[in-house]
Amino acid sequence: MTIPAPRSIRLDALAYGGDYNPDQWPEEVWAEDARLMVEAGVNLVTLPVFSWPLLEPEPGVWDFAGLDRVIDLLWEHGIKIDLATATATPPAWLVREHPEVLPWNADGVRLEFGSRQSYCPSSPVFREAALRLTRALAERYGEHPALALWHVSNEYGDHVARCWCPESARHFRRWLEARYGSIAGLNEAWGTSCWGQNYLSFDQIEPPRTATGPINPAEVVDFERFSSDALLELFQSEVDVLREVTPEIAVTTNFMSLFRELDYWRFADAEDLVTDDAYPDPADARAHVGAALNYGLMRSLKEGRPWLLLEQAPSAVSWRDVNVPKAPGQMRLGSLQAVAHGSDGVMFFQWRQAKFGPEKFHSAMLGHRGERSRTWRETKALGAELRRLEPVRGTRVRAEVALVADWDSWWGVTQTESMPSQRLDWLTEARAWHAAAFALGQPVDVARAAGPFGDHRVLLVPNLYAATAEQAEALDAFVAAGGQLVVGPFSGVVDHCEQVHEGGAPGPLRDLLGVEVDEWWPLPDGGQRTVELGGRVHSTRVWGEWIEPADGTEVLARFADGDLAALPALTRRAHGAGAAWYLAAGLDEQGMRAVLSAVFTAAGVAIREPDTALEIVTRTDGATDYTFVLNHGREARTAPRIPGGTDLLTGVDAGAGLPLDAFGVAVVAHPANRPANTERPA
Ligand code: GAL
């Protein structure tokens, strides 16, 4: 796959708008929609995401009349289109004519039509039909002046990220053949001599359906890789058609934040603009912390370029067990948080609240009460405010800290069988590490394990279970050049075929970290173990290890009790101009903050009194910094003083420290290079 040069969205403003489903409304309503969109400051609308059955009512019969009218109407109102290829939902006729298009679960059960995404990613029948539709749309609307961006499919993997049907099995075999070359190669890589699994030919391999007992881990992890690749291949095939017909138009597919099932590094390489759908839970007082990490990933997927928040809820969603609305001000705050983290706009699901279907209780910009609804008032207000933030468009976020996300390790460590503990979860650990950096005041980028690491000073690796020599070399070079690297437990365990590294963990990271792992000591459920660090005792979570440091490796913390008492829990090894730290336990919140405080101090990265309610993020164009001060708390507070700064939202001078209401935000423009995110709040 060649990496395309990113094209830009054709929109000369921060994007504002949402998903629009005109098919669900009589045409009289469209004119009102267009008028109200203008009133709200909407300049971009996503459609027709789920309209395939209307665009192609019968096989090969096209009906674009309705879509023509709606696009023209919006364009007459100056609104541009994020044009979906509408391939996320095959029509009933396709599924009934070709039931083999339907996906199967691991138990071999075919998943019925009646929801959305009713397709197997590997189905040639589905692909052919989807590409026909993509081409028809590209040919029809490629020259339309309203076309700003291609929106391929919708949230790949949302409902169906893995398929175990016979077609997927055939595709999996082809994928394995390309990866291993020969069946002998596969037998060796998979270690099939264990439990008598040797294969004579690729034909004998099935995807890992529900089996008699634990399935070969190499097969399990290869199936994760394959399944991500199968959707990527489908995505790429649509991208190829779009590039052929409309080479100038930027392409995206909407991501789902830190989503385990798809390797977003690889997906981002195939598109021009990274877009994300973000649904932080208003009922979770810490949801903004997780959101910050998601947004760190989004900007990092394309080397710090701006991305776009393509979906968020104006208030409540309809798919959690309990769907709590956003409190007044919370939607604005969450929107501006995304902009702070590099999003060049704010988009919603959806424009007009549905009257029927599974999303009728999902909030919308224009709720069931229409112009009388609270979300409408807040939608209009935000649209107006966004225009004041125009100077931030195209600027980039400053971050000195990055966190490594590696999907191979994520898949490996979250296998549901045959692991030392089922309690170690990559995402939970990544979030815990990130939360400590957040509390200490540092925005965090996300990096690939093999780099590049840009000019980050600190690299956090909560877990790198499946480490390669290439990654180890890149991490080594980062430290040698002066970086502070922190690696978490259960790293460097296996290679990419689930084979344990010779000599044990941390495998290729052994010299750099200067430790050897003798045994893993996961915490039993309900068990307790503590670590003493800098005179304070911290409780541990989930994990512990018996490690032995090499000569020259400093021991900074030790287990304080239990079978591991007095053994090292945190080590540091100097290397070149930097240092490599190893943490042999899951730590509680205070403990993680203590570790990162020490690391940040060693790196010359500023820290503040821990605070999870105040977030300060700076975007810059090199000459002017735009410092977003976000109060995620329900108490009013004062923003730090930023001399020479002016709040773009209010025009108020920020020199004396701005008052921030509960959920308040200030966006302070000031001359670049002031370390604004290091100042203490007044
Ligand atoms: C997304 C999806 C949208 C809508 C939304 C509701 O996952 O892309 O189509 O269903 O969720 O929150």
Q: Which atom of ligand 1 is nearest to the CA of 50?
A: 9
**CB of residue 155 inside a 6 A radius of ligand 1:** yes
Which residue type, as a one-letter code, is found at position 416? T
CB of 162 shorter than 6 A to ligand 1: no
Q: Which helix (H) or strand (E) holds 660?
A: strand 659-660
State if residue 233 touches ligand 1 by the CB under 6 angstroms criterion: no
Final residue of a structural domain among 393, 428, 451:
393
**Ligand 1 centroid from CA 397, angstroms:** 27
Predicted local distance difference test score (pLDDT) of residue 2:
54
Decide if 241 is inside a domain: no
Q: Is the CB of 349 under 6 A from ligand 1?
A: yes
3-state secondary structure of 16: strand
Structural contact between residues 289 and 256, judged by C-beta atoms closer than 8 angstroms: no
The alpha carbon of 115 and the centre of ligand 1 are apart by a number of angstroms equal to 13
Read off the CATH number of the domain in which 639 is found.
Answer: 2.60.40.1180
- Give the model confidence (pLDDT) of 542-601 as tens digits: 999 999 999 999 999 999 999 999 999 999 999 999 999 999 999 999 999 999 999 999
263-276: average pLDDT: 98
Confidence band (pLDDT; 50, 70, 90) for 6? confident
Domain for residue 7, yes or no?
A: no
Q: Which atom of ligand 1 is nearest to the CA of 256?
A: 7
- For 221-323, strand residue ranges (E) read 251-252, 254-255, 275-277, 307-311
Nearest atom, ligand 1, residue 319 CA:
12
- CA of 257 from ligand 1 middle (Å) equals 13
Q: How far is the CA of 255 from the centre of ligand 1 (A)?
A: 11
pLDDT on residue 673: 74
User: Which residue range(s) make up the domain with 58?
Assistant: 15-157+248-393
Atom of ligand 1 nearest to the CA of 317: 12
Mean pLDDT of the chain: 97
User: Is the confidence at residue 55, as pLDDT, over 50?
Assistant: yes
What's the total number of domains in the chain? 3
For 232-250, the pLDDT digits (tens) are 999 999 999 999 999 999 9
Q: Is residue 64 part of a domain?
A: yes
Last residue of a domain, one of 393, 414, 432: 393
The residue nearest atom 5 of ligand 1, judged by CA position, is 349
What is residue 5's predicted lDDT score, i.e. its pLDDT? 63
pLDDT > 70: what percent of the chain?
A: 98
Give the nearest ligand 1 atom to 254 CA. Answer: 8
Ligand 1 pocket, 276 CB below 6 A? no
Q: How far is 198 from 218, CA to CA, in rounded Å?
A: 13
pLDDT of residue 56 exceeding 60, the answer is yes
Ligand 1 atom closest to the Cα of residue 155 is 8
In tens, the pLDDT along 100-133 reads: 999 999 999 999 999 999 999 999 999 999 999 9
Using the mean position of ligand 1's atoms as its centre, give its distance from the Cα of residue 287 in Å: 18
CB of 362 closer than 6 A to ligand 1?
yes
Residues 388 and 414 in one domain: no
Q: Which of 570, 603, 636 is the last residue of a domain?
A: 603
Asked whether residue 355 falls in the same domain as residue 457, the answer is no
Q: From CA 153, how far away is CA 435, in angstroms rounded?
A: 33
Ligand 1 pocket mutation pick from 47, 311, 323, 360 by most atoms within 8 angstroms of CB = 311
Residue 682: band (very low, low, confident or very high) from pLDDT cuts 50, 70, 90: very low
Q: Residue 674 CA to chain centroid, in angstroms?
A: 29
pLDDT at 503 over 80: yes
Q: Which residues are annotated as a binding site?
A: 116, 120, 154, 163, 165, 319
Are residues 625 and 484 part of one domain?
no
Segment 527-533 shows an average pLDDT of: 97
pLDDT at 4: 54
Beta bridge partners of 255: 276
In this structure, the answer to whether residues 467 and 358 fall within a common structural domain is: no
Same-domain status, 262 and 350: yes
**Shared-domain flag, residues 414 and 371:** no
How would residue 678 be classed by pLDDT, with cut points 50, 70 and 90? very low
Residues 6+ apart with CB under 8 A from 142: 245, 246, 249
Strand-strand pairing, 458-461 and 275-277: unpaired
6 vs 644, higher pLDDT: 644
Q: Which residues are catalytic?
A: 155, 311
Strand, helix or coil for residue 578: strand
Phi then psi for residue 478, to 5 deg, are: -60, -45
In a domain, 320, yes or no: yes
pLDDT at 3: 56
Phi-psi region of 267 (alpha: psi -120 to 50; beta: other; left: phi over 0): alpha
Q: Are residues 415 and 456 in the same domain?
A: yes
pLDDT (mean) for 125-150 = 98
- pLDDT tens profile 602-644: 999 999 999 999 999 999 999 999 999 999 999 999 999 999 9
Q: How far is the CA of 193 from the centre of ligand 1 (A)?
A: 45
Mean pLDDT to the nearest integer, 473-500: 98
* 35 CB neighbour count, 10 Å cutoff: 11
User: Do the domain assignments include residue 10?
Assistant: no
Is residue 127 in some structural domain? yes
Question: Based on the domain organization, do 149 and 254 belong to the same domain?
Answer: yes
Statement to judge: residues 438 and 335 lie in one domain: no
Task: Give the Cα separation of 348 and 315 in Å (integer).
Answer: 10
**Which residues neighbour 318 within 8 Å (Cβ) at sequence distance 6 or greater?**
358, 359, 360, 361, 362
| Segment 93-100 mean pLDDT | 98
- Among 298, 285, 389, smallest CA distance to 341 is for 298
Residue 438: CATH number of its domain: 3.40.50.880
Give the pLDDT score at 379: 98
Residue ranges for the known binding site for Zn(2+) are: 120, 163, 165
Residue 389 pLDDT > 70 = yes
CA dist., res. 396 & res. 389, Å (int): 14
Determine whether the shortest distance from the Cβ of 311 to ligand 1 is under 6 A.
yes
Percent of the chain, pLDDT > 90?
97
Q: Which residue's C-alpha comes closest to atom 12 of ligand 1?
A: 317
Q: In angstroms, rounded to a whole number, what is the distance separating the alpha carbons of residues 277 and 45? A: 15
| 678 domain residue, yes or no | no
Same domain for 328 and 385?
yes
Q: Is residue 207 part of a domain?
A: no
CATH code of the domain containing 141: 3.20.20.80
Q: What is the pLDDT of residue 402?
A: 98
554 ligand 1 Cβ < 6 A = no
HSE toward the beta carbon, residue 570, CA cutoff 13 A: 22
545 lines ligand 1 (CB under 6 A): no
424 and 344 inside one domain? no
| Averaged pLDDT for residues 474-497 | 98
Query: Which H, E and C letters describe 457-474, residue by residue?
Result: CEEEECCCCECCHHHHHH
Does residue 259's CB lie within 6 angstroms of at least one atom of ligand 1? no
Given the DSSP bridges, would you call strands 659-660 and 637-638 parallel, antiparallel or unpaired? antiparallel
Is 20 in the same domain as 145? yes
CA distance 228 to 293: 22
